[in-house]
A and B are shown apart, each in its own frame.
Chain A
């Protein structure tokens, strides 16, 4: 490539990567302002809005609820997703294809439509506006993330290892526990992390199925952005950005991003 062309291409790439990162950088920078107003560039540096965020009772309740829902969701879909991924590995032909498609459906169907269907259905079976209903909805929507990641890890596992274990007399459970599980741990952790973060950030589902008196952090943040516009919201947002960065680092350490 000629030098000017190479420079031009580099410039275009830098612009696009910059575009991707810009809003995140702006939110974090705004949360560090010492001033009274939400603004960029920030006026002086301080952590006062983080202090305000962690002192705000409503936001803290929302944060705790979000963490709780995300934790329960993660445990549930990691177990269910691992079982489904093992089934997917053992099956072949059309059954395998159907199982995969079915498990990916919640990801392919628009979240808004799924939420609307669940709004009606949960109401009719008496779970409308309850925490259990919200919990179930989060599990349905995050299940594909867990499944896909675990199934991909299982695909890379050499079946000879299980054959060896089986022929040496290990039971199915022992083979799973001592051979399969340690080898696909990275995939399971990645799936669990994606499920956790997706549930933690989920807005539309929580918005339509909001339990009485239960605000999750994204819902509280939405109210904040719609009415009360101060840097506390930026601090709340920055906290979730930091969580996400921690997630990326953990995934990279465990399995490597290229294998995602």
Chain B
């Protein structure tokens, strides 16, 4: 992802305005000012060392691990082989799981987009009362994924409130088995990732000057016409950032599929962790993780290519 995407993914920070309307520091004036006597690179050293050593090296190690031979009684062997890639790409069990994971990612992303856009529109309007709604959107971020899944475990259980309501309404006779299905996983993930979609879109919407909507109104465009031709295209950078973020996060999600998903036909993240922690087959686990990463990367690149026109037109 580019740096632009990176900052758009946290629109909260980027979208922050200078309260008094004071212009932001022009970047030219940054130069040549000694804030701390120590040079900037010296200040950045601890962070860079931490990330190179414990983020960069582990990813390199994952690639190396995927090329190692399987071990006997140890997590990995000493030789090198491409066998695990043949296994990961040739075995229908893994391919099926990869397909399900990508499909899950697509469904969750679409669901999040559908739920998030109205919320983002609502939040983007000015007004102190909206603080309350911001708090509603942000608070789930501060509660662990586990707790939120737990809520769905209760809601969707056989004797849970959803089944009670459906029976009370006379829609069903027998309680439905809602938990431990792929639908439950999708629902749980949509709930987990809605804030990740709302924040970038609300950030993009806030950057649209209000005069544009007024101009569109004044020129006689209807409400829907204005939305479709002005607001929606101009918020596209936020949609793009949110879509990529939610897709990648939901394909690689582990907890929610583990708690809300069923046994049988499962997702690639679950199989990968099983290989790593259950079977101690580290090279195969590393390969599956990299195959997942490559597949996600291809989808994201495809999405960026398909939407490049739109993004270029609007991200000015």
Q: List A residues at the B interface (Cβ < 8 Å).
A: 1, 9, 12-13, 16-17, 19-27, 30, 38-41, 79-81, 83-84, 86-93, 97-114, 116-124, 136-137, 139-140, 143, 147-149, 151-152, 155-156, 158-159, 162-163, 166, 171-173, 175-176, 180, 194, 197, 200-204, 207-208, 218, 221-222, 225-226, 233-234, 237, 240-241, 244-245, 247-248, 252, 256-260
Contact = CB atoms under 8 A, between A and B. Distances in A.
Most chain B CB inside 10 Å of its own CB: which residue of A83, A88, A137: A83
Contacts of A38: 154
B62 interface: yes
10 contacts: A22-B155, A23-B151, A87-B47, A90-B35, A104-B6, A112-B253, A140-B51, A163-B33, A201-B144, A204-B254
Contacts of B245: 108
Given A84-B44, A204-B255, A17 B119 contact: yes
B153 interface: yes
Interface stretch (B18-26, B86-94, B229-237): B18-26
B243 interface: no
Contact of A113 (B30, B155, B277, B289): B289
Most chain B CB inside 10 Å of its own CB: which residue of A91, A116, A175, A176: A116
A1 B139 CA distance: 31
Contacts of A41: 161
A28 B195 CA distance: 21
Interface string B109-127: 0000001001100100000
A152 B13 contact: yes
B contact face: mostly helix, strand, loop, or mixed: helix
Interface of B: 1-3, 6-7, 9-10, 12-14, 16-19, 22, 24-25, 27-31, 33-44, 46-48, 50-51, 54-55, 57-59, 61-62, 65, 75, 115, 118-119, 122, 130-131, 133-140, 142-155, 159-161, 191, 194-195, 223, 245, 248-249, 251-255, 258-259, 269, 272-273, 276-277, 282, 285-286, 289, 292-293, 296
Nearest to B54: A140
Contacts of A124: 61
Contacts of B55: 105-106, 109, 114, 117, 140
B6 A101 contact: yes
